[in-house]
Structure 1
């Protein structure tokens, strides 16, 4: 195993057991049998290492969700199922659960705001593709411009980045309802 892969693996082990806040670079270096200076040859900070680990875990989760769920279901039911499964998986994974950790999610959000974060978000592209498909099948209201469809999803991301203001204890329920309301509103043919 090369040094960078070893640092990644040891960091992932420590972050999974101790959490982001209680893990430091010295511990990662010791577990990887390297010096702290060697760590810095590969990563500029523990945040950079964690974000790389988090991103990999997040992509694995999104791929599993896409493969395991029947995407032909009725829109409201499908979106609620995707959200529920996503939430369950996040809370079962100590790395992904850091998204709800006030000490760290600001760092993650900053990362996801830049172009790299947007390009790798498989769940966003899944939702956008589903909405466009539904629009072409007549399941989405005619009066809603197709260019607006990704904006609805992006607005949820904006709310997600303010979860501390919403109240982190209420956030999962609030986002679940908002998604349901948006999908029902988009698919409601009564004006």
Structure 2
């Protein structure tokens, strides 16, 4: 990667994490990176473009830490609780990742993650699909039911890419309740 681009990314990451999207501007990013504002535009057409790049990298890093910290062989219902607790602790308190629900940039983020490219590049999404599928196979769930469960997983992903907390009051709690009771229903049906 070009040295100036790397400096811009590093500066943008620092400033977005410290100040959030709204309170960071291109001049601040360029100054922190030690480059002229005009040089910024040689690498990025807008603040949104660099933010998307920073967001993707931050999301990947936080999700990878989550994957490493959780015991994925544990009780599946407890895993759901851990997932949402981790989300509140590490995502809702992160000035970059909290922008998922910010109306000024959430559409860009949602559009990217719901696009074919976004889904293919989302290693956490793929990890969850594979992990859920393997867990259900281990529980001797019929392949057709696994397919239905994965379709519900896709539906949850769709909802997450099309609804924000600003549009639906109580969104995070409602999503957690939906997922918890869905998993309870699946696990109780297989016992």
Q: Is the 8 A contact 1:127 1:153 kept in 2?
A: no
Q: String of CA shifts for 1:73-124, please: whole Å, max 9, x gaps.
A: 1111112212221231102321111112222211110111222211222332
For this pair of structures, how many residues does the alignment match? 188
Q: String of CA shifts for 1:12-58, please: whole Å, max 9, x gaps.
A: 12212221122222222222222222111111211111111111111
1:145 to 2:136 alignment? no
For residues 38 and 77 of structure 2, the distance between their equivalents in structure 1, rounded to whole angstroms, comes to 51
1:81-160 matches, cutoff 5 A:
81-138=82-139, 140=141, 142=142, 144-160=144-160
In structure 2, relative to structure 1, the CA distance for the partners of 1:81 and 1:144 (3 Å cut) is farther
Q: Secondary structure at the match of 1:92?
A: coil
Q: Is the 8 A contact 1:19 1:94 kept in 2?
A: yes
Q: Is the 8 A contact 2:133 2:146 kept in 1?
A: yes
1:1-191 matches, cutoff 5 A:
2-138=3-139, 140=141, 142=142, 144-160=144-160, 161-163=162-164, 164-167=166-169, 170-189=170-189
Q: Is the 8 A contact 1:124 1:153 kept in 2?
A: no
Quote the offset at 1:190 in angstroms: 6.7
Quote the offset at 1:165 in angstroms: 3.1
For residues 144 and 127 of structure 1, the distance between their equivalents in structure 2, rounded to whole angstroms, comes to 18
Is there any run of 5+ residues in structure 2 with no aligned partner, and where? none
The alignment yields a C-alpha RMSD, in angstroms, of 2.1
For residues 112 and 62 of structure 2, the distance between their equivalents in structure 1, rounded to whole angstroms, comes to 18
Quote the offset at 1:128 in angstroms: 1.3
Q: Is the 8 A contact 1:71 1:78 kept in 2?
A: yes
Q: Is the 8 A contact 1:65 1:86 kept in 2?
A: no
For residues 12 and 95 of structure 2, the distance between their equivalents in structure 1, rounded to whole angstroms, comes to 13
Q: Bigger CA drift: 48-57 or 1-10? A: 1-10
For residues 159 and 104 of structure 2, the distance between their equivalents in structure 1, rounded to whole angstroms, comes to 18
For residues 120 and 87 of structure 1, the distance between their equivalents in structure 2, rounded to whole angstroms, comes to 23
Q: Is the 8 A contact 1:29 1:35 kept in 2?
A: yes
